Amino acid sequence: MSAVATGASRELASCHLCYKLAPNSLSHCPRCGSALHLRKNDSIQRTLALLFTACLLYIPANLYPIMYTEQLGSTEASTILGGVVLLIELGSLPIAMVIFVFSVMVPSAKIMAIFYLVWTVERHSPLGPRQRSLMYRVTELIGKWSMVDVFVVAILVALVHLSGLLVIRPGIAALSFAGVVIVTMVAAESFDCRLIWDNMEETK
């Protein structure tokens, strides 16, 4: 079987900013002037470092209170899961489901998906390059919506303050969780998905 024709085999590189194809002998993109690389520099190392950072931030995001509830002079601290249970008890099931999905399921799925993609770059995978590229695009798309629950909590705090009967204040876990979201988004951007296709002929 003949080798698959790639941009690299034709000595072409794609600009990481404007996506223009240009000879890889150039040091800067002829369109936008940004640095031109055949692949993102140290993509795997930077992605792994960011993923480990996200894992470390995810621990306090789940262990420490994400919000404090004050009612009739008493204060109760709630973790993410505790807050979900509290919102269900208050009758806010849709908000509770949004927070559970985007605060528990989505971050875990994003981290595991990127870890898997990094792992498959150097090893054979039962998934083909098309499926892994689709996984990457879905992960990148979800990452852009991961702050939805943070905004929901902020809106909930504002609405509850208006009632005057119950006061909800964000906790330190909210900052940790925001850090998880930001770091995982940067990790997804740091991963060069073209690495998935570099060894495509070896998987056939």
The residue that leads in pLDDT, 7 or 81, is 81
* DSSP state, residue 64: S
Q: What are phi and psi of 6, to 5 degrees?
A: -125, 165
Query: In this predicted model, what pLDDT tens digit does every residue of 126-176 receive, in sequence order?
Result: 788 888 888 888 888 776 666 655 666 666 666 555 555 667 777 788 788
93 has pLDDT over 80: yes
Q: State both tokens at 121.
A: 């770059």
Domains of the chain, by residue range, sit at 1-38, 40-202
Residues in the chain: 204
Higher pLDDT, 151 or 102: 102
Reported pTM = 0.73
Check if CATH label 1.20.120 holds for domain 40-202. no
Cβ-contact 180, 54 below 8 angstroms? yes
